[in-house]
Structure 1
Amino acid sequence: MERLVKTRDDAPAGFFAAEAAGLAWLAAAGGARTVQVLETAPRRIVLERVETVRPTPAAAEEFGAALAATHDAGAPAFGAPPPGWTGDIFIGRRTQPAHPEPTWGAFYAAQRVEPFLAPAVAAGNLTASGAGVVRRACALIATGAFDDTDAPARLHGDLWSGNVLWSAAGVVLIDPAAHGGHRETDLAMLALFGCPFLDHVIAAYDRRHPLRPGWRERVPLHQLHPLAVHAAGHGPAYGDELVDAAERTLALG
């Protein structure tokens, strides 16, 4: 088996161990395939190397159904990290909280959006007035305005297209920020960054686990998290998109 070695000399404690724990938890769901972990150490992780091929509609449909199965495997609570993991988890190079909460809105606002606002403002990528708009949206979310009866889903948590590898055997997921959350958040991140054949992914997902009415209108709500993360470190265009998503979230309320 060919190997891929990822290293980070300044890795915080648990950085690669958290990645390995997330991959194992997702794999245990028996749905979407995840990259195999061969070795972990404080400053590196060794993975199987995935040879990629061109995406196809058939592979996209297989992935959509498998992702629904992963989500359906569930989590103990919103915000819950992989079993046996304690403390923060990581999205990209940034830390984010992973504290179990009984309701989705309270978790999402406090642990997935608000932590990235001050860094985004400090970086010059989000204005103070824009941050105020996002905080108003977070206040609405925290009231439970968008909570429903769905149990916590087992999320990949950083499901942009770069973490979806198309192999000859089907899609393989890499680099998770795995936690318990709302299934629509993973799907919204796929839409934000242009997953190939997304319509096929969604159709197959919906056949396996029908999505709640209005899910398309709630996409901006679930994109607040990745947009906030990117606004913290990837330029003012993401700050503008974050404010727009917050305004559309407020309009839903």
Structure 2
Amino acid sequence: MVMEQKRELDSVSNLFFVGGLQCVTNSKLGHQHQRNQSLCLTLNRSEFVCAGYHFGVILHQKNKAAHSFQSSGSRHSSPVKMGLGSMLGNKEPDEITLWIENNLDFGKVTERSGGASSSWASSSTITTESGVKLFVKTSSDGPSSMFEGEAKGLQAMQATGTLKIPTVYHCGPYSTPFGGNGSFIVMEYLELGGRMSQRELGEKLARMHLAEPLAEEARQGKFGFPVDNTIGGTFQPNGWMDSWLEFLVERRLRHQAKLSRDSQMQDLTEKVCERILNGDFFDGVGDIQPSILHGDLWSGNVSGCKGQPVIFDPACYYGHHEAEFGMDWCASFSGDFWEAYNKLIPRKPGYKERHQIYTAYHYMNHYNLFGGGYYQSAISILKSLVSR
């Protein structure tokens, strides 16, 4: 999660980059973004905030619902430089190092710096003798498909030739030092930070949504993605479907409701789904075409890189472009952003109600990940949609 440039930072004590991730150690992070009487983020004690990695920390908020930025990473005190192979506790080049040296034209690996880690993945920055740096994520749990969704998502967005997207060099399996089966992904290292234009972000995101899809199925008008992936730590099914409304109901809303194991949420979701399938909320929209969506677009997954807007850490699929903004309650998009975006893709009638549907999906996911106040937020939105 890269802290977006307009976020207010107080008492910042350290700012550095780990594997292309802008990291901030601060004694007070005072950014406040209000929606439905709740704050998007309040940190009143020293915390480590790391771009692209959701710590799963429930952030305290007096008399209000807590918000935890979803992530796959956790706190790490500082980057630690390590010699070749030392991160894996051996003297020989590890399997990932050998893959880099044998398959990329960057020369030998000369240095590896530790980055953030979590219960399922860790990251590091690889420096090669040519001076090129790489960002590597590894996991000792699960098959290589764990990173396949991320890799294919980045590639699908990059293929549009619009926003800056980290280049993916490889993802696949590897043997862990302890004899297990792990997976890894090798990406371009990006020096994140500095200013970027919200207007340029809005324009290029609109052009990304308007671009011809990379996937043949999406070019044929289908909704979904070549592989399933995750939204935060939640499994996200992406099997292709011909109808956006059916995809929204089956692959998104009903899926999250089922995961909740809550009868009220399931009942309300089913009523909303029935209305969607009956055509409610989508009058005047016209023919919906599949757009490549980042899928988890909030300020933590947006940054600047040498003056250009860059997005990363996606949960991609091909869907209705309006669904991209289900996380805008924590995105802080400016007026310039919306002016540029809507100049290319004007809002259609009923946008407000559809936006509530797409927001409900993310609140439901946050409840399934973190519990707490997200439950009431999701229930409130679902009730309002049922009563409209």
TM bucket (normalised to shorter chain) is 0.7 to 0.9
CA distance in 1, matches of 2:228, 2:333: 33
Corresponding residue for residue 34 of structure 1: 165
CA distance in 1, matches of 2:318, 2:378: 23
Over residues 145-204 of structure 1, what are the superposed CA-to-partner deviations in whole Å (9 max), with x where a residue is unaligned? 234323122211121221112222322111222211111111232x121x2343322111
Please point out which of 244, 251, 256 is paired with 1:116: 256
Distance change >3 Å, CA 212–CA 41, structure 1 → 2? same
CA distance in 1, matches of 2:156, 2:322: 19
Corresponding residue for residue 192 of structure 2: 52
Please state how far the C-alpha of 1:25 moved relative to its aligned partner.
Answer: 0.9
Q: Percent identity?
A: 28
Q: TM-score, normalised by structure 1?
A: 0.85
CA distance in 2, matches of 1:167, 1:97: 31
Corresponding residue for residue 293 of structure 2: 155
Higher gyration radius (CA): 2
CA distance in 1, matches of 2:171, 2:361: 28
CA distance in 1, matches of 2:136, 2:387: 45
Say if 2:241 and 2:247, in contact at 8 Å, map to a contact too.
Answer: yes
Corresponding residue for residue 150 of structure 2: 19
Other structure's SS at 1:101 match: coil
Please point out which of 231, 246, 250 is paired with 2:382: 246
Q: Which runs of 5+ in 2 are unaligned?
A: 1-131, 174-182
Say if 2:296 and 2:315, in contact at 8 Å, map to a contact too.
Answer: yes
Other structure's SS at 1:172 match: strand
Say if 1:106 and 1:144, in contact at 8 Å, map to a contact too.
Answer: no
CA distance in 2, matches of 1:114, 1:235: 18
The answer as to 2:134 corresponding to 1:3 is: yes
Please state how far the C-alpha of 1:55 moved relative to its aligned partner.
Answer: 4.7
Q: Which has the higher contact order (CA 8 A, sep 6+)?
A: 1
Q: Which runs of 5+ in 1 are unaligned?
A: 122-126
The answer as to 2:270 corresponding to 1:135 is: yes
CA distance in 1, matches of 2:344, 2:325: 14
Corresponding residue for residue 188 of structure 1: 326
Please state how far the C-alpha of 1:108 moved relative to its aligned partner.
Answer: 0.4
Say if 1:131 and 1:243, in contact at 8 Å, map to a contact too.
Answer: no
Over residues 70-93 of structure 1, what are the superposed CA-to-partner deviations in whole Å (9 max), with x where a residue is unaligned? 111254245321xxx3x4222233
CA distance in 2, matches of 1:163, 1:68: 17
Which structure dedicates a bigger proportion of its chain to helix?
Answer: 1
Say if 1:37 and 1:48, in contact at 8 Å, map to a contact too.
Answer: yes
Q: Give aligned pairs, total.
A: 239
Other structure's SS at 1:150 match: coil
Say if 2:157 and 2:294, in contact at 8 Å, map to a contact too.
Answer: yes
Please point out which of 96, 99, 120 is paired with 2:239: 99
Please state how far the C-alpha of 1:28 moved relative to its aligned partner.
Answer: 0.8
The answer as to 2:353 corresponding to 1:223 is: no
